[in-house]
Amino acid sequence: MYTKQLYKIFAVLMVLSLVQLGCKKFEQIPVEGRTEDIVFDEKDVNGFFAEQALTNIYTYLPNGFNRIDNAFLCTATDDGISSQYSSNIEILSKGLQSPTLTVDDVFAENYEGIKKANIFLSKVDVVPVLAITKQYWKAEARFLRAMFYFELIKRYGGVPLIGDKVFVLSDKIDMPRNTYAECVQYIVAECDAISGLLRKEPVTASSETGRITQGAALALKARTLLYAASPLNNPNDVTKWAAAAAAAKTVIDLGYYALNNSFVAAFNNRSDKEVILAFQQAKNQNLERANSPVGYFTDLIDANGLTSPTQELVDAFPMKTGKPITDLKTPANPTGYDPAKPYENRDARFEATIFYNGQPWFGRGVQTYDGGLDRPGGSLIQTRTGYYLRKFLPDLSTANTYGAIDHNFIIFRYAEILLDYAEAINESGDVLANRTEAYKQLTALRKRAGITAGTGSLYGLTANMTQAQMRDAIRLERRIELAFEEHRFWDVRRWKTAEVEFNKMLHGVRITNTSPLPTYNYVNATNIVFKAPMYLYPIPYSELQNNKALTQNPGWK
């Protein structure tokens, strides 16, 4: 019910509404009757059909909300579990993927997006719109094409680069894979070429909300170079880390993007200075319905609780002091962690990310104790860990129904850029100046999260960290700041640590509603499996059959 196709429909409707494409000319010609001659019309001074064609290419952008059998990609990591047993996401989380059993298979889909971008670029010059409009459109199409290649190479490694070629049905397509390095070079070159041709920040017209800007092109370049510099793709060349750091710094130096004072607000605003690019769609209630704790189901509220965050993720969030939960509460340390009250005095991102027992929601506290309204037992789909996913939802603690809510999946946001820069600058050389820069980025994020400044205004970070200690701090910050935004699944792979971090038993909590305080017992929830070939996806068998020049990734048969 929460399929990507539905999101694409929402996206098209929203963007069409914003750019005012709903004219009579459109209504008179059914979609199936719009040939390329109609779409790219030399008499169409407003470019209505051409703009709709470009808008359609936007729908191929990543949208991570409950997109794999109603599950987030992060439920194939140590951060979460699908509340549904035998969900397709378990093909990934249990190490069951193969060339003939694929999940998150976007190979054909992204090449379809590339094909549509190439058609658009080859045909749009005949449309007599303003030169600046055409400049923006062509640059947007090139960005989208580069983005689709990035989505391919992070999954499959090097893939065939087809350039501007537009294939027709009669073409025999036997194209070998380009190397990963060649693909990276192509994406980066495209970002460099178009960054000066796109809209500049700030974009003030509401009709342009969600359009590609120069910041998006620079952010894609930064992420591409970060992945290329990471251990999976780069054994020991520190110059690649320096290039990634410089690319992230370029986004920062635009001087426009900034952290929203509210961690929650950035996810519920259509336009926000923290958001660089998001998958736009019409206001809806999909996430509330999919992820609210199950006991709130009424005539006015549909609550399906499809995502169960793990105890491992819960324990990753520090205290308000910024110290880890291993820093226990004692008479001498009253702000430390209290196992009898495990959810008190935590980093505010914790309660903005995870529903926990007692958290206010729709006028009552969440009940994830055994037998509680939100963990009643029986056959109902419900939390498997004692937690539900809270992230991306507005504050409905005193509401009585859902409203029409903005849910635009964030593809790039400023917080990620700060973390990209911190990681890349730290890895680019074991020198104090680099770590000083990394400290600045982490403390900015922790300050926004409401963590107390503490000694030296380090917001709970340890002073004088080594490069290795800073690496661990950055990786932790990425985990908690970017949870369920489709980063950890790829981060742990590019760090090449998945055989440890994604090969273990995951845990949850069983809560007994005793008096005066509930009793917490931590229990096994499920195991996650990672095998060495899974650092790259298998090329789908159907693609190998369609293109005989393709070769399979190592370890897959």
Half-sphere exposure of 96 (CA within 13 A, CB side): 14
> Mean pLDDT for the chain?
93
Helix, strand, coil shares, percent, the chain, to 5 = 40, 10, 50
Q: What is the pLDDT of residues 231-264, one digit of tens each?
A: 999 999 999 999 999 999 999 999 999 999 999 9
Q: Output the CA torsion 309→313→314→315 (10° steps).
A: 150
Where residue 50 falls (left for φ over 0; alpha for ψ -120 to 50; beta otherwise) is: alpha
Q: What is the pLDDT of residues 477-489, one digit of tens each?
A: 999 999 999 999 9
Q: What is the pLDDT of residues 113-166, one digit of tens each?
A: 999 999 999 999 999 999 999 999 999 999 999 999 999 999 999 999 999 999
- Whole-number pLDDT of residue 153: 98
**pLDDT tier at 1 (50, 70, 90 boundaries)?**
very low
Residue 384 has pLDDT above 60, yes or no: yes
Q: What is the pLDDT of residues 194-227, one digit of tens each?
A: 999 999 998 888 888 899 999 999 999 999 999 9
Q: Decide: residue 497, CB within 10 A, 0-12 exposed, 13-18 middle, 19+ buried.
A: middle
| pTM for the model | 0.93
Sequence-ordered list of residues with C-beta below 8 angstroms from that of 18, at least 6 positions apart, any chain: 206, 207, 208, 209, 210, 280
Residue 8 Cα to chain centre, angstroms? 17
Q: What is the pLDDT of residues 284-309, one digit of tens each?
A: 999 999 999 999 999 889 999 999 99
**pLDDT tier at 34 (50, 70, 90 boundaries)?**
low
Mean pLDDT on 25-38: 57
Where residue 395 falls (left for φ over 0; alpha for ψ -120 to 50; beta otherwise) is: beta
Residue 318 has pLDDT above 70, yes or no: yes
The label of the residue with tokens 């932790």 reads 476
Least confident of 88-92, 151-155, 312-316, 400-404: 400-404
Token representation of residue 98: 């193969």
**Backbone phi and psi for residue 442, each to the nearest 5 degrees, phi listed first:** -65, -40
d(CA 371, CA 368): 8
**pLDDT tier at 507 (50, 70, 90 boundaries)?**
very high
d(CA 309, CA 454): 29
- Whole-number pLDDT of residue 15: 44
H/E segment holding residue 521: strand 519-528
- Whole-number pLDDT of residue 73: 97
d(CA 211, CA 278): 9
- Whole-number pLDDT of residue 9: 42
Least confident of 21-35, 140-154, 247-261, 338-352: 21-35
- Assess contact for 552 and 539: CB atoms under 8 A: yes
Cβ neighbours of 411 (radius 10 Å):
22
Percent of the chain at pLDDT > 70 equals: 94
d(CA 164, CA 143): 13
d(CA 494, CA 228): 9
